[in-house]
Every structure is written in structure tokens, then in C-alpha cells.
A = this chain, B = another copy of it.
Amino acid sequence: MSKTLEFWFEFASSYSYLSVMRVEPLAREAGVEVAWRPFLLGPVFLSLGWNDSPFNIYPPKGRYMWRDLARLAEGYGLPFQMPSRFPRSGLLAARVALLGTHEAWMGDFARAVMRANFAEDLDIAEPKVIRAILDGLGLPADVLLEAAGSEDNKRALKRQTAKAGELGLFGAPSFITADGELFWGNDRLEDALAWTVKHAEN
């Protein structure tokens, strides 16, 4: 299938929440395959000189973001509760997600982690939270958590995160089309899908 869209996201990222929840139905409707690309924003932000989320470094941006997020979630009909801690480390969830990139459970897992972080105020950095999510999906938590923590998998996530920087990403969510167009932000999800449909090879 030539109609594929790379979906770069981070479990700690508030606007990634909105796109993780929305991407599969919209992509299905457009006839586009989602290529899941979990990565870590921390190293990308560090390369820009930020040692924290810009929403924390620049308080007016942060205050606005939470209000904007609440309004958007309401408009999309998505649950939202401001997390008591932000950002939470998405490291463990990203390592598990990397294992699921080509698995049928990827979307369900990603949505469950995002709901935990942004609708249930659960600490996704805690292994027990991720374990409960895997259990809830009927997945072999022990096997997956061990594989997630393997050196190979850790290196693979580092490579994926380094690639994000090489691709010019500076935030999440980001979308990259098969012909190399970058779209940044939940606001551009529909545009990225429309571009993919319009410019797909026949």
C-alpha cells in the first residue's frame, strides 16, 4: 500500500494525546495506513536548548496550551483531565510501543497509555501502570516488559529518536508523508492525510 503516513508521537506530549486518539479512524476513512513512530521529545528539545517542556519553560504558552487542549478535547468528544504532573516520562511506554509498531494492538495500547496520562491522571512512568494496561488488553505483560527493556530495544528507540532530529522534527505530534512533507501538530493531522491521498502513487 503506497498510501502510508508516518505518525511521530510522544506519550508525554499533550497534543500527541489528541492525535493518538484520532488518527486511526481518520486514516481508515482516508484509506491511509498509519506508520506508528513513537519517539522521545526530551533529546530533541535538548538539541534546541530546552531542558524541559517549552510549556513549562514559557508559562504563558503553558497556560494557553492547557486551556486550548481542554477546548479541543471537548470539541472532539475526548475525555480530558489536567495531569497533576507534566510532562511524565513516556520512556517505558515508548519502548513497549516500539515493539508494537507492526502489531495489531499498537493503536489500542497507545490510546490506553494516552488516556491514562491525560484523562485518568495516572503516572505512565510507573511500570505497574503500563503493566495494567497490557493486562487489560490481554497482552503478555511479562514478555513485553522484558523485551521492552532489552538492550536491543533500548538502542532501537535511541535510533528512532535520533532519526526524528535528523528529519527536522522539533515537536510532537508530527506527520511525514511518503513524499517527504512534514506536518507539525494535531492541527495538521487532517492536512497530512489529505496530502497523502492527493499525492499517493497509483
Do residues B187 and A64 form an inter-chain contact, with CB atoms below 8 A? no
Chain A 24-61 near chain B by CB (<8 Å), digits 1 or 0: 00000000000000000000000010000000001011
Interface size counted on chain A using CB atoms at 8 A: 19
Chain A 79-90 near chain B by CB (<8 Å), digits 1 or 0: 000000000000
Do residues A170 and B48 form an inter-chain contact, with CB atoms below 8 A? no
A169 at interface (Cβ–Cβ under 8 A)?
yes
* A71 / chain B contacts, CB cutoff of 8 Å: 181, 191
Inter-chain CA distance A183–B68, complex, in Å, is 8
Cβ-neighbour of A48 out of B48, B58, B63, B181 (below 8 A)? B58
Inter-chain CA distance A60–B67, complex, in Å, is 26
Do residues B187 and A60 form an inter-chain contact, with CB atoms below 8 A? no
Cβ-neighbour of A61 out of B60, B68, B170, B187 (below 8 A)? B170
* A69 / chain B contacts, CB cutoff of 8 Å: none
Q: Which 10 A-B pairs have the closest CB atoms?
A: A60-B170, A187-B187, A60-B168, A61-B170, A48-B58, A64-B184, A64-B182, A63-B168, A58-B170, A64-B168
Query: Footprint of B on A, CB under 8 Å?
Result: 48, 58, 60-61, 63-64, 67-68, 71, 168-170, 181-184, 187-188, 191
9 A-B pairs besides A64-B184, A67-B181 with CB distance below 8 A are: A58-B170, A60-B169, A61-B170, A63-B168, A64-B168, A64-B170, A67-B182, A68-B183, A68-B188
